[in-house]
Amino acid sequence: MEDKIKVFCGNSNPVLAEKICKSLGVPLGSAKVKTFSDGEIMVEIGENVRGRDVYLIQSTCAPTNNNLMELLIMMDAVKRASAATITAVIPYYGYARQDRKVAPRTPISSKLVADLLTTSGADRVVTVDLHAGQIQGFFNIPVDNLYAAPVILSHLKSRFPDSNEIVMVSPDAGGTERARAFAKRLGCTLAIIDKRRTGPNVAEVMHLIGEVRDKTAIILDDMIDTAGTLTQAAKALKSHGARAIHACATHGVLSGPAIDRINSSDIEELIITDTVPLGDKSLQSNKIKVLTSAELLAEAIRRIHEDESVSSLFV
């Protein structure tokens, strides 16, 4: 596979890219991705990619616009260097929350990003736990939306062997399907928090549906940004008699006051994956445990390259 496949990464998550390459058994390709003094991005691919299947690994996390531009310019570079196919591997897809018009005269930014990726040369997109599954329909190219569920479930099963002691909690009605699927796989009960948003990044907990008293509650979400929803959910669960509170999410964005909120909350442990690099944030909280998504992404890349089923990973 090594002579036909080439894997490169930008500056957003090189540690994850190295792990993916190690799992694949191929070297991480040489690429210079720097900025000029005025902030313009400069890309130089250091290897021959003519006729190769190229995989570009880049999460479009903070700084979102820089990382997105790096990915677009890298795709243009390998397209002009005659790559056979270009797959954008985006573990965290930025702008995913702007997937519809929520008010007059507002953009659908995730559709715009989809158009930019396609125009820049992407033949396929691989991502993990899209905030809204319908974003796949914004593309006219194949999109593989992977799920971090196997990674998180494996940890939860070893951490909580007695399913009668735990309850899976959705922090809002929109995440009910995800939490129900986890509860089914774990063999535990389900609870739902009825949440009402009063503005962007502002949430107000209303009611709890389900029984959590004297149980370990595990809050499940796709991403944690400012942690407002998460910590309010934890407060509501505590007030309803939960014995202990844990949380898990695929994407640990953790912006603004997130770390302080988590540290001062009733949450004992927050489980996230490495789709978004934590950097120094990991040193600011001893409640955070990071699981790697590298093997999941590597296996998906291998299956795509060898024309095998990707969906069977999640059966």
Q: Which SS3 state, helix, strand or coil, does residue 187 take?
A: coil
136 marked ligand binding residue: no
28 within 8 A of 21, measured Cβ to Cβ: yes
Residue 266, annotated as binding a ligand: no
Number of H helices, E strands in the chain: 8, 14
Q: Is 228 labelled a binding residue? A: yes
107 CB-contact burial (10 Å; exposed 0-12 / middle 13-18 / buried 19+) = exposed
Taking only Cα atoms into account, the Rg of the chain, rounded to an integer number of angstroms, comes to 20
- For residues 172, 110, 49, 76, the Cα torsion angle rounded to the nearest 10 degrees is -160
What tokens were used for 194? 């009825």
194 is in an annotated binding site: no
Residue 40 is labelled as binding a ligand: yes
The secondary structure element, H or E, covering residue 305 is helix 294-305
| 195 catalytically annotated | yes
Tell whether 222 is in a known binding site: no
Catalytic residue among 184, 195, 235, 281: 195
Say whether 210 counts as a known binding-site residue: no
Tokens 């736990």 map to which residue?
129
Residue in the structure block whose two tokens are 């507002």: 106
Is 197 part of any known ligand binding site?
yes
Residue 226 among known ligand-binding residues = yes
Smallest CA-to-CA distance from 240 within 219, 254, 261, 220 is with 219
Ligand-binding site membership of 159 (annotated): no
256 labelled binding-site residue? no
Q: Binding site residues, as ranges?
A: 38-40, 97-98, 131, 172, 197, 221, 225-229
Give the annotated binding-site residues for D-ribose 5-phosphate.
197, 221, 225-229
Catalytic residue numbers?
Answer: 195
Annotated binding site for ATP: 38-40, 97-98
Would you list which residues are annotated within the binding site for Mg(2+)? 131, 172
